[in-house]
Structure 1
């Protein structure tokens, strides 16, 4: 009877949300922008704190370990609680879960002030852990919430759209963060890590402001089945279990690449850039992910007239070219347009089918990483920048494929997937260690390449909906 009751509730909830989801979706999208901005600020912190504390690269990568390690620990605690006491999100509601996440993240940002004052690397890592703990709660609540704010067939498209705003945050973070921390008013004259104080206090205030906005916003409450008993039934789904590994591989690979780019662009045989200038090209990398996610949102959406997809994609391409031209110049804009064209060709190969598109995108990244590892100069530089475009649809597509068909176990499955973001804590230090031991930063990109090989497998084979043993 519980299953019948749940199906009835799901149908009534979907009908209601289909009519009213646009407003709530806009509000929730703010969250995706903010955690994208905050996450990418780590890429600025790594070279900054590496200089301040005279760290080796693998030690500086502990910034990502502290940040993404929180995803694993908090998600693990959430999962344990859900299988013993019941799903916390089902109990308190998605809206309250989001507010709690924002407040915890704001506390973590505020702790950067005493960390910089005390000039303690350990304190910085603690602040990052608390900050990421709040973002973990946001991820658990917001990702599945987006998938149910509308028709099920459009879930991948909606999550790609919100992730595009996440990528907007990662795009502007290197520019704004790089300016404030490396070039801003008195930044060069400030002692030690003092230049990080103002940016993170600003982030703390912004997060609290968004929490107030969420509190007063009218977000629909999605009710769970009150008769659902605590269990770990989500792990019975094979595509979820394999999806957990895929999220681990994707986040680990993406974060490792992004964390290494500033040091990579500084290499004389690649570009020989200074930190601030390299930060602008790091923004190009994350901007590619944003453009690709807008493409993905359109390509994976349901249109009555499919020709409209091509019109919208053409408009996005034109806008992207104009922006690149205004920021970087004609040469960079032309290269960017060529990479966008390549992205579109691979989308066509994927046939706008989420799982197939994921497989082709991951295969393309492997090819680009080969050029990154063994090329030099502009070829290697633009190859690694292009990876951002093809990373674009991966997280939202993997997430949507992994929770497909979970029903009442969706939020539990979400917590397991968010737990797998710990890949961002493990893979970057491994790449850093390989670079330190071999003395060759380029060859260290073979580490994330292994991650993308698994994503190819999941896209073409592992994402098929099955229960364990089928």
Structure 2
């Protein structure tokens, strides 16, 4: 018998939640592959920073147009997810992702930059629909009080994908599929066919899995605002725009930042590997956030679990970033304890920020915003290893923002939850806009000073954590 939210006993949602976290892993992986693609396509097609930023514009622009279409369909024709269910919605989304990845093959054959942008838009269409379905589904797979904890855990798995992607993508492009040691347009074909096959495989896994359905509240179609009646959702939409825009902009130009002679002047292939510290930091923060916002009663146990989690993930990132393939020979090149010390300090400060947040999603949000503003100032206005680690350390403080903003924004939306989710996912378009602004700034003042651009994003997010998240009575359309 299928379990529903109307049952008196608390259902066991562990298996379906594990299945859903696989989605978070794969879309995190494929999204961060853009960070590896940008410098590669920039060199291959001789692009400016602004033109290279069109990669993120094409990808994250899809989030806006697809989510906007979803909103209007749900407003006038009824919520599509309510009609066909979460499971079928997820399967369709995964197949679209697979098809988008497959389109990289003809794009490489034609060697046309606009074709690549089109393939990215199609891929992102699938990811958009996936996020509209999976984020609220993960949130409702359990008690409402622990929704932020579940989303942080799912986002932690998402960060595993974002941590592995730069390394796996860098090795595939620069080592495995490079032609005679050189990266060419053809190098990209096989990796994206592999990614497409993974999406199709995951669609089959979801199809074969039992994902519980949930009783829906009655909804009606009208020309009213729908979910937009809720002020905390509207403020949350802007917060999502600012967060995604800031995170994507930083990730997009980190390789170029690390290549800058005022920072460390790293080779591109090496810099792509060190992206793992940025996304690995996000994984540390999200997993620790899941523990911090969980129902564990003992503070001492919470902090112990968080410390162990941070050290284990750091150990994995430390080992993974040491991997090298030099002249066809596998080798390990570890950083010294002195070299890694700044990152350990950043982890300790991240831990302090969690303690200051006291397990409250809104409070943690504005505390972490202060951390982001501080690190971006250091990255923009200092040099060498200090600026290098400050930029990579932003991943630690970006970590919990999506989960906390999302759950705060959909709180008490009831039958408008899926529609509200589509509006929040629509604002991922920030990942299309902010990198272009940052790229234009980099073309004029240099890549390092351009890292000051996202500071304004985190000022607003701090406001949302302090005031904007508060739930008020929905406004009634005239």
Pairwise TM-score range, normalised by the shorter structure: over 0.9
Contact 2:4 2:214 in 1 (8 A): no
Determine if the alignment matches structure 1 residue 319 to structure 2 residue 288. Answer: no
TM-score (structure 2 length as normaliser): 0.93
Distance 1:324 1:111, change over 3 A: closer
**Cα deviation digits, residues 409-461 of structure 1 (max 9, x gap):** 000000000000000000001100011123x2111122111111110100111
> What is the correspondence of 1:101-250 to structure 2 with a 5 Å cutoff?
101-187=93-179, 189=181, 192-226=184-218, 228-230=220-222, 231-250=224-243
Q: Which has the higher helix share?
A: 1
The residue number in structure 2 matching 1:8 is none
For the Cα contact (< 8 Å) 2:230–2:475, is it kept in 1?
no
Distance 1:390 1:220, change over 3 A: same
Verify the 8 A CA contact 1:292 1:389 in the aligned structure 2.
yes
Structure 1 gap ranges (5+): 1-10
**Contact 2:100/2:122 (8 A) holds in 1:** yes
Which of 339, 362, 379 lines up with 2:369 in the alignment? 362
- Aligned partner of residue 13 in structure 1, secondary structure: coil
Q: Which residue of 1 aligns with 2:418?
A: 411
Shift in alpha-carbon separation, 1:186–1:373, aligned structure 2, 3 A: closer
Cα-to-partner distance string for 1:35-78 (whole Å, 9 max, x where unaligned): 00000000010001111100001100100000000000000000
Aligned length: 459
Classify the secondary structure of the residue corresponding to 1:225.
coil
Contact residue 324 and residue 332 of structure 1 kept, 8 A: no
Matched, 1:435 2:438: no
SS in 2 for 1:155: helix
Q: Bigger shift: 14-23 or 348-357?
A: 14-23
With over 3 angstroms needed to count, the CA separation of the structure-2 counterparts of 1:333 and 1:445, relative to structure 1, is closer
Alignment RMSD (CA, Å): 1.7
TM-score, scaled relative to structure 1: 0.94
- Kindly provide the CA deviation profile for residues 303-352 of structure 1, in whole angstroms up to 9, marking residues without a partner as x: 13332202211211331343355344333443332211110101111111
When residues 14 and 349 of structure 1 are mapped into structure 2, their CA distance, relative to the original with a 3 A threshold, is farther
Any conservation in 1 of the 2:276–2:317 contact (CA below 8 Å)?
no
- 1:271/1:378 contact within 8 Å kept: yes
Choose which of 402, 405, 414 in structure 1 pairs with 2:409. 402
Q: Does 2:286 align with 1:293?
A: yes
Given the superposition, is the C-alpha separation of residues 423 and 375 from structure 1 closer, same or farther in structure 2, using an over 3 Å criterion?
A: same
Q: In the aligned structure 1, how far is the partner of 2:154 from the partner of 2:110?
A: 38
- 1:447 paired with 2:439, answer no
Q: Deviations over 1:74-100 (max 9, x none)?
A: 000000100010000000001111011
